Structure 1
Amino acid sequence: MRYSFLLLLVLLWSCDNKRTTNAPVTQAPGPTTAAPAIMSSAKPSATKPLDTLAAASASAGSTNAHRFLASGETLRQFVPAGYFIQYEAQGDISRDGIADVALILREITDSTSERAFVVLLGQPSSPKYKLADAGWNAIGPQCSDDGYPFRSIEQLAIAKGAISLELYDPGPAGNLFTTYRYIAGNVQLTERETFFQGAGQASRCHEHLLTGVTEWEEVHLLKEPAESTETTEQTKPVKILLHDSNPDEMTNNKNHQLK
C-alpha cells in the first residue's frame, strides 16, 4: 500500500517537474489558507507592546528581535510594523470549543527575510486572543537571495486539533510537511515528513517525534520492475516546541539530531 502511494507521488512529481516554472509562490486553494488580505503598500500600524512576550528569536538564536503582544483583541495587533499576514488558518487546537488561529507573517517589501509562525489561542472573553507561541525558524524565507521561491506551493491548515504546514517543491528542495499540536500548554512539533526525488530514486521519511518512530521508504526507479524498500526505527522521543523548531535544518537521519 505504501509502495503504491509513494510510486503515485513519484509519477505526480515527474509530471509537475515538467511544467514547473519560477513563478511566484502560490497558495493552495481552500478555506484554511486565507489570501493575504493585509498585503498592500501600506505598512501595518505598530502596536505598543504594553504586555509583551519575547518572540522565538531570542531562544532560537535568531537575529530577528521582534516581540509580540501576549494578548490582543485583533489579529493585526500581533503583526509587527512592516509585516503582513501571508497565511492564516483557524481551528480548535486547544480542544476548548473556541477557534484558535495560526499565522504566517512576512515582511511586505522583502520576500527573502525570515518569516514568523505565530499561534494564538481564542479566549472566551476579552482580550480575544492569547499568544501561545511564535517561531522565526519554523518556516524558512519565501525566496532565495536571487528572488526565486524555494517552494511552489505553501499550505497552512488546522484540522482535528493539529496545525499542518505543507511545503511542496518538485525541485531540489523537495516536500516538507510538519505538524504541530497544543500539548500541556505548549505548541509542540509532533511530526515531520520529507519527500525527495533524485536520479532514479525517490525517498520518503516520516518522523513521529512524540513516539520516536521513524518510517523510511525508498523506491529505486531504474530497476525493472521498480523496487521499494521500507524500514522502521525506534529511537528516543524528542520534545521540540514551536519557538525552538527549525524543520529545514533537522538532519534526515535516524538519530533525530539537530544540525
Structure 2
Amino acid sequence: MRLLFLAAALTALPFAATALDVPPVRYPAVPAHAATAEGFVPAGWTLEYRIEGDLDQDGRADLALVLRQQDPRNIIEHDGFGPSPYDSNPRILAIAFARPSGYVLAAQNHTLIPRPDSPVLSDALAEGTGVSIQRSALRVGLYSFSSAGSWSMGTTTFTFRWQEGNFALIGYDRDTMMRNSGQTEGLSVNYSTGKVKLTEGSMQDDKEQVRWQTLRDRKHWTLDSVGDGWAFNPLGDGS
C-alpha cells in the first residue's frame, strides 16, 4: 500500500533545513552572442562549468554553461550548523548554439539550479551530478544531502530536448535513500509517453517493488516553466 502514497511523497523536498537570510540578487542578461564560452560571462560572474555537445542536431558542438556570481556580499557568516562563512552566490544556466561565426544564446535560466541558502545542505551540483549533454538532450542533475535535520539523500535529474524553439522537459528521475534505514524510493516520469514508474526497495536486499501509472496532467513543461528544481512537482496534478 505504501506505493500508493509514494508519488505524493516524492514531489516534496527531499530534506528539511533552515535557510539563511541571503541577500537579494539582480540577475544580469547574458550576452546574446559571443565568439567563445567566456564571452557569455557577465561582469562579476565566473564560468564554473562548460559542457559541449550537439543540442540542436545540426552537427555542431553547442555549449551548456554554468555561471556563478562572485559577490563577496553573498559570503555569509553565521553561528548555526554547517560551514561558516557560507557561499550563497547563485548560478545561471546558459545554453548557446554553435554557428559558423561563433555562438548564439538559446536560453538562460537561474531558477532550476537552486541557489545555496542552507549551510547544512550539500551543493546541488556535487557528487557527480551537474549538467551534461547526452544523445542531444540536456540533463541537469541535482544532488541532495543534509548534514542535519534529515536522513534523506538522493539525486534528481531533469532531461530537456530542444523542440519547437524551447527546451522541453522530456524526463524526470528522482532516486532517494534514507541513510538510517536503507529504504530506497524512486520516481521516473517520461513526458513523451506519459508513463510514470514508481519504485520502492531497500539497501538490505535487491528486491524492488515497481508500480506503473499514466501521467494524468500532460502539461508541456519547458526549462523556463519548471522553476525551482527542488520545488517542482513532476506529476503536475497536485498529488
The alignment's TM-score, normalised by the length of structure 1, stands at 0.65
Establish whether residue 243 from structure 1 lines up as the match of residue 205 from structure 2.
no
Matched, 1:83 2:61: no
Question: Is 1:132 matched up with 2:94?
Answer: no
Instruction: Measure how far apart 1:226 and its partner are.
Output: 6.4
Secondary structure in structure 2 of the residue aligned to 1:248: coil
Cα deviation digits, residues 154-190 of structure 1 (max 9, x gap) = 3322121111222334553521112111112211222
| 8 Å Cα contact 1:102/1:120 also seen in 2 | yes
Cα deviation, residue 69, structure 1: 2.2
* Contact 2:169–2:221 under 8 Å retained in 1: yes
Deviations 1:187-221 (A, max 9, x none): 12221111111235210111112332211100156
Structure 1 residues 117 and 202, CA, compared in 2 at 3 Å: closer, same or farther? same
The answer for the alignment partner of 2:35 in structure 1 is: 73
Report the residue type matching 2:112 in the other structure: A
1:130 maps to amino acid:
V
- Equivalent residue for 2:69, pick from 80, 97, 107: 107
In structure 1, what is the equivalent of residue 9 of structure 2?
Answer: none
Structure 2: distance between partners of 1:88 and 1:237: 32
Query: Do structure 1's residue 123 and structure 2's residue 99 form an aligned pair?
Result: yes
Residues 201 and 219, structure 1, Cα contact 8 Å, conserved in 2? yes
Deviation at 1:96, TM superposition (A): 0.5
Q: Does 1:219 align with 2:201?
A: yes
Instruction: Give, in angstroms, the shift of residue 148 of structure 1.
Output: 5.2
- Residue 175 of structure 2 corresponds to 195
In the alignment, the residues of structure 2 paired with residue 123 and residue 258 of structure 1 have an alpha-carbon distance, to the nearest angstrom, of: 42
> For 2:111, what is the secondary structure of its paired residue?
coil
**Which deviates the most, 235-244 or 96-105?**
235-244
Question: What root-mean-square deviation, in Å, do the aligned CA atoms of Structure 1 and Structure 2 show?
Answer: 2.6
3-state SS of the aligned residue for 2:230? helix
Deviation of 1:227 after TM superposition, in Å, equals 4.4
- Listed one character per residue, the Cα deviations across residues 119-172 of structure 1 (whole Å, up to 9, x for unaligned) are 111112x2x11111111111112x434375334423322121111222334553
Number of positions where the alignment pairs a residue of Structure 1 with one of Structure 2: 191
Query: Residue in 1 aligned with 2:166?
Result: 186
8 Å Cα contact 1:156/1:165 also seen in 2: yes
TM-score by length of 2: 0.70
Q: Alpha-carbon deviations, 1:217-238, whole Å to 9, x = none?
A: 001567xx66421111112433
Residue equivalent to 2:186: 204
